[in-house]
Amino acid sequence: MSVEYPPFIYPEEIKPLILETDDILFSDGTRVTPEDIWHFMTVTGPKRFPFAFSTNPAFGHQLSRDVTLISGIRRNYLGMTGIDRLRKFVRNGTPLILIQGGITSDIYQAAGCISVGPMFLRGWIMSSQEGRAYKNANLTGASILEEARQNLTFECCNLIANVALLKTHDLPIAGIAPCLCSRCSDMAYAVEAYRSESDKIPTVLIDYPTNHEDAIWRTEYLKQGLHSLVNQLEKITGNEVTDDDLREEIIIQNTARSLVRECEQIWWSGKVPPTNSIDGGFAHLGMMGAFDFPVANQVLKETRDELHSRVKDGVKGYGLVDDPARLFICGSCVMPNPNFVDTKGGVLVGSDDVWSSICMDIKESGDPYENLATAYASLPYERSTEERAKWTIEQVKASRSDGVVFMYNWGCNYQSAIAGMITDIIKEDTGLPAITIEVGELTRMESLEQSHNRIESFIEMLR
Amino acid sequence: MTLSTLEKIRNAVKQRPGILESEKNNGKIVVGWFGYFIPEEIIHALGMIPVRLGRGGDERLVELGARYISSQNCAFIRASMGMFADDSDPYLRNADVVAFDNACMQIFRLGEVSKYYFKKKTLFIGVPRNPYSIASQTYFRNEFENFTRNLELLAHKKLDPLDLADSVDLFQNIRDVTKEIVQSLLVSNFPLSWKEVTEVIHAGYYLDKRNYLSLLQELLREIESSTKSTAQKPQEIRIILSGSVVAPGDHKIVDLIEQMKGTIVRDDLWSGLNPSLQMHIEHPSVSSIADAYLSRIPHYTLPCIEKDDDFRFEHLKSTVLETRAQGVIYHTIRYCDSATFKTTGLKNRLRNVGIPMLEIHTEYSDSDVEAIRTRVEAFFEILKMQNESGVRA
């Protein structure tokens, strides 16, 4: 028996609230009016990306139904139109650089490039055909994933497998420059597998020294790697990158990181959670900047102001139960389905991986390479496991979490290796329940029942 | 025919745990190690006893280890973690400190997790992913210097240059004799199988190094006096074994190959011959040792990102030519990403130069033995047909 889920539609009543907002002015001079945003989210978007408006409960990337959180709708607009901006970058000759790891976009943007993650590769292929409904999008995505795996190995995690698509598709990637060994052991070998058979796309290796002793040579090594990265990016763009370029970009992205931190502190300070779990996921905007950081900063300021006002007024996020179980998520690149968590009486209060990069502040004056290397070397997520656990405990306490979920995707052997250790340390220190959950759903849209069951049981236990 | 020196080596290994324990009781410090970039010369020169750790082939240890580390980690890592939990391995039990390098990121995790749960004193060495840059060389020298300082603290003494020179000579001699013994595998009436040669190499993990060298030299003399012909055996299937670690105790693949009348003429393994190859320490100094370790054939856990610098592939290709091997069996342990991810590319590249390759993806369970036997048998049939027609794939 199949169940039809009606598509989500923004109610007409909120249109005036949208229209009260400011225009968005992109760095290339493109101006988007609130009317444009409303039209996209109610007319163009549903036609081009029907799956994004699906209300299928299994769908982990549903739009939030909190329609009065206007900054949330504007963030959704930025997310959904990201592919259009990327197409424009490609048309205009702006190089797209494939990255991975905890290092931020500062260098890539300063060099006049746009950094994209491995998920982009599949997204680009899928976006070649618009109008996909939920089932179709899911099947197409699964089929592309399978193709990628066959070209690499079935033991690769769902995200990194996408790198294999570079061998079989003409993708607009001008350079591959991931930060190896930070958080992920798969990316290095996926890039190697590509490189062993093709030299079409230049490859840059940035090594992240994982021996965690507090050593000056570790930072120096990272600094040399960043110099090498910039040299390679200069070759790709044909333009010199000055220290001032780097410093300027660091200032812009520090603002983004600082705004996300402000938002998170306001969110955590609320007696009740001011948004649901979907709308609480604003950290990504500070990390990837919707490919245009000044715009991201504008929308993050709007988010901050709205959160502030909600916390002041004691507004609870739409769809949350009273006193929901507060879950802090750690682990690899996968998260529980936020809508499902809310429905079952929980709420996501934070996650460690993107938050780790957001917590990093890069010194703005002086040698930018030194400053970037020092900041990257101190990333909490990349510290020794015992140190990382200590930092996680601080976040768990600051977010007043009721429980911790260490989640990792099948195939992620670097993060999964420490799942038990981190949760044991957290349990011992905080006395809070902590669970490890292995899933296979990263980038997938269906067959998520097993992980849903485990999350639901954990929430029931906490409540 | 079993060589008498091989029996001597076996007896020495049997007696070694007791001797090691008494040496430890007499104040000697035992440094156990996991990985590929731990400088045994420096450990030895400081008067400590280096012992390479890790076992394969034991499902019970795999299960035990998975209680502490993930079931997503490779069988060798889980088994190694199981060794900590089991606490019956005499070498690990007697280790005062355990050193890990992070060439394999799973081994690095093994170090972190075992340190937390089993409270062993632990040292780490960072290994750069790209060994060819000046920055990498500087970083790695610093890691070795730091490792040495930590060892000196444990030993309560400074590294003496003369002792280091002695140790460097000793280990170079061991590598040289090992290479000569392995080279003899190419002789058709060689009195040892690859499995036995590897048993000898693995004995070197545990035995006193000077005693080990003299045993190796004795074995080489015995081999030289017993081998005459260099002609190839008729109907022989000559194989190179490459891929993931084949640790002591892991006999599954090797037994199958030998049962199917295959002859492993050389390995491309870091648990076999590779640590003895292309290692030239110019001066007996910590920096020179670091440079030498970094300049070896690139370890399979270090990704070759620059295609033109893929010396690992070039090494494998030239080994096939040198040994007149008919094919490569590429053995990958489940979840050994560093070996597994390379499979498709390696197979395609070997095919392009006319070298057939079979991947065997497995772990320590016996449940897939017959399936693997069928695949090996089919591979050998193909190689035989090519042999008869004188054509390579």
Tens digits of residue pLDDT in A126-177: 998 999 988 888 889 999 999 999 889 989 999 999 999 999 999 999 999 9
CA distances from A54 to A45, A50, A74 (A): 12, 7, 18
Task: Please tell me what DSSP assigns to residue A213.
Answer: S
What is the rounded distance in angstroms from the CA atom of residue A266 to the CA atom of residue A243? 34
- Check residue B187 and give its pLDDT: 82
Chain B CA closest to residue A227: B135
Which residue's entry shows tokens 């236990």?
Answer: A461
What is the rounded distance in angstroms from the CA atom of residue A139 to the CA atom of residue A147? 12
Looking at per-residue confidence, does A350 or A180 come out higher? A350
B138 and B130 Cβ atoms separated by less than 8 Å: no
Q: Do B106 and A215 touch (CB under 8 A)?
A: no
- Check residue B228 and give its pLDDT: 61
- Check residue B227 and give its pLDDT: 65
- Sheet with A434-439, edge to edge strand ranges: A346-351, A325-331, A403-409, A434-439
Which residue among A151, A192, A210 places its CB closest to the CB of B108? A210
**A203: helix, strand or coil:** strand
Top residue of A98, A159, A162, A185 to mutate, by most chain B CBs within 10 Å, is A185
A386-424: per-residue pLDDT in tens? 999 999 999 999 999 999 999 999 999 999 999 999 999
Q: Do A221 and B334 touch (CB under 8 A)?
A: no
Residue by residue, DSSP assigns A434-451 as: EEEEEES-TT--S--HHH
What is the rounded distance in angstroms from the CA atom of residue B282 to the CA atom of residue B155? 26
CA distance A434 to chain B (A): 15
Q: Do A420 and B72 touch (CB under 8 A)?
A: no
Interface of A with B in 334-393 (CB under 8 A): 384-386
A114 and A95 Cβ atoms separated by less than 8 Å: yes
Please name which of B155, B68, B111, B117 lies closest in space to residue A212, comparing C-alpha atoms.
Answer: B111
- Check residue A60 and give its pLDDT: 85
CB pairs under 8 A between A and B: 163
* Contacts A204 to B, Cβ<8 Å: 305
Q: Do B72 and A385 touch (CB under 8 A)?
A: no
Rg (CA), chain A: 21
- Check residue A213 and give its pLDDT: 65
SS3 content of chain A, % helix, strand, coil (to 5): 55, 10, 40
* Contacts B69 to A, Cβ<8 Å: 417, 420
Looking at per-residue confidence, does A149 or A42 come out higher? A42
* Contacts A192 to B, Cβ<8 Å: 303-305, 341-342, 345
* Contacts A418 to B, Cβ<8 Å: 109, 112-113
Q: Do A197 and B342 touch (CB under 8 A)?
A: no
Give the tokens for residue B283. Answer: 């001066």
B108 and B138 Cβ atoms separated by less than 8 Å: no
Top residue of B72, B346, B352, B362 to mutate, by most chain A CBs within 10 Å, is B72
Chain B CA closest to residue A190: B341
Give the tokens for residue A283. Answer: 């950290």
Task: Please tell me what DSSP assigns to residue A179.
Answer: E
Give the tokens for residue A407. Answer: 């989640």
Q: Does A419 lie at the interface with B, CB-CB under 8 angstroms?
A: yes
CA distance B258 to chain A (A): 28
* Contacts B306 to A, Cβ<8 Å: 195, 203, 205
- Check residue B234 and give its pLDDT: 58
A233-254: per-residue pLDDT in tens? 999 999 999 999 999 999 999 9
Q: Does A146 lie at the interface with B, CB-CB under 8 angstroms?
A: no
Which residue among B110, B126, B303 places its CB closest to the CB of A192? B303
Q: Do B109 and A414 touch (CB under 8 A)?
A: yes
Averaged pLDDT, A166-191? 92
Give the tokens for residue B363. Answer: 């772990």
What is the rounded distance in angstroms from the CA atom of residue A449 to the CA atom of residue B105? 32
Q: Do B307 and A199 touch (CB under 8 A)?
A: yes
Residue A443 has pLDDT above 80, yes or no: no
Chain B CA closest to residue A209: B126
Q: Does A226 lie at the interface with B, CB-CB under 8 angstroms?
A: no
Q: Do A418 and B112 touch (CB under 8 A)?
A: yes
What is the rounded distance in angstroms from the CA atom of residue B51 to the CA atom of residue B94? 10
* φ, ψ of residue B71 in degrees (nearest 5): -70, -5
Q: Does A214 lie at the interface with B, CB-CB under 8 angstroms?
A: no
Q: Do A416 and B129 touch (CB under 8 A)?
A: no
Give the tokens for residue B381. Answer: 């049939």
* Contacts A420 to B, Cβ<8 Å: 68-70, 113
Q: Do A438 and B72 touch (CB under 8 A)?
A: yes
Residue A345 has, within 13 A of its CA and on its CB side, a CA count of: 12
- Report ipTM (2 d.p.): 0.95
Q: Does A420 lie at the interface with B, CB-CB under 8 angstroms?
A: yes
**Pairing state between β B121-125 and B327-333:** unpaired
Q: Does A209 lie at the interface with B, CB-CB under 8 angstroms?
A: yes
* Contacts A197 to B, Cβ<8 Å: 345, 348-349
Give the tokens for residue A214. Answer: 């507090």
CA distances from A328 to A55, A98, A183, A420 (A): 25, 29, 18, 16
**Pairing state between β A114-116 and A24-25:** unpaired
Chain B CA closest to residue A213: B124
What is the CA B22 to chain-centroid distance, rounded?
27
Chain B CA closest to residue A150: B344
Q: In this structure, which long-range contacts are made by residues A236-243, counting pairs with CB atoms below 8 Å and at least 24 apart in sequence?
A: A236/A95, A236/A97, A236/A113, A236/A174, A236/A175, A236/A202, A237/A95, A237/A111, A237/A112, A237/A113, A239/A111, A239/A112, A241/A110, A241/A111, A241/A112, A243/A367, A243/A368
CA distance B345 to chain A (A): 6
CA end-to-end distance (rounded Å), chain B? 36
Which residue among A156, A210, A417 places its CB closest to the CB of B341? A156
CA distance A422 to chain B (A): 9
What is the rounded distance in angstroms from the CA atom of residue A210 to the CA atom of residue B125? 9
Q: Does A181 lie at the interface with B, CB-CB under 8 angstroms?
A: yes
- Check residue B1 and give its pLDDT: 58
**Banded model confidence at residue A58, pLDDT cuts 50, 70, 90:** confident
Helices (H), A34-164: 34-39, 45-48, 70-80, 82-91, 106-110, 119-126, 134-150
A249-278: per-residue pLDDT in tens? 999 999 999 999 999 999 999 999 999 999
Give the tokens for residue B348. Answer: 């395609």
Tell me which residues of chain B have a pLDDT lower than 50: 393
Helices (H), B228-365: 252-259, 286-294, 311-323, 337-340, 343-352
| Type and span of the H or E element at B196 | helix B194-206
- Check residue B393 and give its pLDDT: 42
Mean pLDDT (chain A, rounded): 94
Please name which of A286, A241, A227 lies closest in space to residue A261, comparing C-alpha atoms.
Answer: A286
- Check residue B307 and give its pLDDT: 66
